[in-house]
Amino acid sequence: MTTFGYFLSSEEHDPRELVRQARLAEQAGFESLWISDHFHPWLDEQGQSPFVWSVIGAIAEATSLPITTAVTCPLVRIHPAIIAQAAATSAVLTGGRFRLGVGTGEALNEHIIDSRWPPAEERLEMLEEAVEIMRELWSGKLVTHRGTHYDVDTARLYTLPDSPPPIYMSGFGEKSVELAGRIADGYICTGPSAEFVQRFHDSGGQGKPVQGGLKVCYAADEATARKTVHRLWPTQGIQGEAAQLLPLPRHFEQLAQMVTEEEASKGSPCGPDPEVHLKAIREYVDAGFDEVYVSQIGDEQEAFFDFYAKEVLPRLR
């Protein structure tokens, strides 16, 4: 049976607010949490981007919900050995309720360390090697690694959970989905693609969990909600590879000027009609997703949680 979680937006909210929303999500009946991992927001208008590992530590004490990063890039900005330590500590703090979501990242977050942004094929190679390193370190053994992309010299993790955290991999193209099926413990996608779910299963992911997520905007009327989406997430209407390649929020703002309100809100249910929200979420259920995560765009968080607790989650179940 599909479970339903809340997607915490690190781009929109400061760390204290994210912890507060995690509590509200649990009270409203959501069963798990996603949290984004960014150095920059997509737009200055979004306004935030706290360090995700500190926030996860606070959430671990504030709720009993499972937490997945959606997603961490263990390639450039932070070495995979350090991500391995952060994930292991998070798994201990949460009592084994932490899942490490990984992906090949965006220049927006990673260029701050190295202005050279590797092409997609190379980033997939880097991710496969990074996953290998992290799993080696979670064994508790002394690790020395001399690889194509990374070196590790006599490193050992001393703080480890009883079981290594599962690694879920994000993928939006054939090669990345197939790699996820081969090396990951689960798959992450932000669109209701039955094709990608099937490809993941066919590539070695049969029986492994699949997580999906979407952004919504509850408001008293649909027009207000659409305006909020267009103001905060016009990037949803930007097509192609720009999301992986552009290095600064101002570049996304320049492209976003060409995105209409309709294009920005196309994939996000807006307004107070529960049927609109249910229809969008059920697309993920029908596509074979095991877990679906919902993120409320904007500041009307209490109203959103009340709406979902009373009008949406009961009908999904």
> Is residue 51 very low, low, confident or very high in pLDDT (cuts 50, 70, 90)?
very high
**DSSP annotation of 16:** H
Average pLDDT over residues 220-235: 98
**Model confidence over 76-99: pLDDT tens digits?**
999 999 999 999 999 999 999 999
Extents of the domains making up the chain: 3-221+270-315
Average pLDDT over residues 145-166: 98
User: Could you write out the DSSP letters of every residue in 236-270?
Assistant: GG--TTHHHH--SHHHHHHHHTT--HHHHHTTS-B
Gap between the Cα atoms of 198 and 205, Å rounded: 9
Handedness of CA 40, 85, 88, 133 (dihedral sign): positive
Gap between the Cα atoms of 80 and 93, Å rounded: 20
Note if the bond before 152 is cis, omega within 30 degrees.
no
pTM, full prediction:
0.97
- Using alpha carbons, select from 8, 46, 11 the residue that is nearest to residue 253: 46
Share of the chain above pLDDT 70, in %: 100
Enter the tokens of residue 93.
């703090």
Superfamily of domain 3-221+270-315: Luciferase-like domain (3.20.20.30)
Average pLDDT over residues 286-310: 98
Average pLDDT over residues 125-153: 98
**DSSP annotation of 288:** T
**Model confidence over 23-46: pLDDT tens digits?**
999 999 999 999 999 999 999 999
Confirm whether 128 is a catalytic residue: no
Question: Amino acid identity, residue 189?
Answer: C
List 12, 106, 178, 291, catalytic entry? 106
pLDDT of residue 76: 97
| Cβ neighbours for 223, distance < 8 A, ≥ 6 positions apart | none
Q: Do the Cβ atoms of 68 and 211 come closer than 8 Å?
A: yes
pLDDT of residue 26: 98
Mean pLDDT of the chain: 97
> Is residue 299 very low, low, confident or very high in pLDDT (cuts 50, 70, 90)?
very high
Gap between the Cα atoms of 209 and 180, Å rounded: 11
pLDDT of residue 72: 98
Gap between the Cα atoms of 265 and 243, Å rounded: 17
Average pLDDT over residues 215-241: 97
**Model confidence over 232-290: pLDDT tens digits?**
999 999 999 999 999 999 999 999 999 999 999 999 999 999 999 999 999 999 999 99
pLDDT of residue 156: 98
The total number of residues written for the chain in this structure: 317
Average pLDDT over residues 107-124: 96
pLDDT of residue 271: 98
Share of the chain above pLDDT 90, in %: 99
Within the chain, how many helices (H) and strands (E) appear? 14, 10
Confirm whether 106 is a catalytic residue: yes
How many of the other CB atoms lie within 10 Å of CB of 75? 27
List 11, 12, 13, 38, catalytic entry? 38
Average pLDDT over residues 65-69: 98
How many of the other CB atoms lie within 10 Å of CB of 176? 22
Q: Do the Cβ atoms of 35 and 69 come closer than 8 Å?
A: yes
pLDDT of residue 279: 98
- Using alpha carbons, select from 212, 211, 161, 214 the residue that is nearest to residue 186: 211
The C-alpha angle 160, 161, 165, rounded to 5 degrees, equals 105
Instruction: List, in sequence order, every residue forming a beta bridge with 296; answer none if it has no partner.
Output: 216
Tell me phi and psi for residue 237, to 5 degrees. Answer: -95, 0
Q: Do the Cβ atoms of 249 and 11 come closer than 8 Å?
A: no
pLDDT of residue 110: 97
pLDDT of residue 63: 98
pLDDT of residue 138: 98
